[in-house]
Amino acid sequence: MNTLHRTITNELHELQGLMLASTNFLEDRGVGETTVYRVNLALEELITNIIKHGYKDYDQHEIHVTLEVAEQEIKTVIEDDGKPFDPLAWTKKETPAALETRPVGGLGISLIKDLLDNLSYRREGSKNIVEIKARR
């Protein structure tokens, strides 16, 4: 089977198990180390943003993740019920050159856009659906 489905809750500690499952799944299908790294970095960044910024309450929510490995690419779909957020609409902030004067955060989405071959977003009802693709 070339598809992995995982559901986690909106708690940061859940990321560790997801990253392990993703790494094992991709490596077992012959995906190269660099691509595994790129996919996992994007996955971790997007889900961390969902957990930290996506919910207005402290209730437990589910985040659904699907990874599909094809001959030429890896497609990852992340679905959550957080507040609407389109990562494509986010614009890169100018940051000061000196590391000491840079604000913390705000660069992850730019990094994801640079690492991946495709990033798309849609809102279906109360769900955010982000799809990322990386060439093998």
CATH number at residue 50: 3.30.565.10
Query: Sheet harboring 73-80: ordered strands across?
Result: 3-9, 62-69, 73-80, 127-135, 118-124
**Residue range of the domain that includes 64:** 3-135
Q: How far is CA 124 from the centre of its chain?
A: 18
For the chain, first and last CA: distance in Å?
17
Quick one: pLDDT at residue 104?
45
Number of independent structural domains in the chain: 1
Confidence of residue 90 (pLDDT cuts 50, 70, 90): low
pLDDT value for 98: 56
State the pLDDT at residue 107: 58
Instruction: Indicate if the alpha-carbon torsion angle 24, 30, 34, 36 is positive or negative.
Output: negative
Q: pLDDT for 59-75, tens place per residue?
A: 999 999 999 999 999 99
pLDDT band at 20 (very low <50, low <70, confident <90, very high): very high
pLDDT at 19 over 60: yes
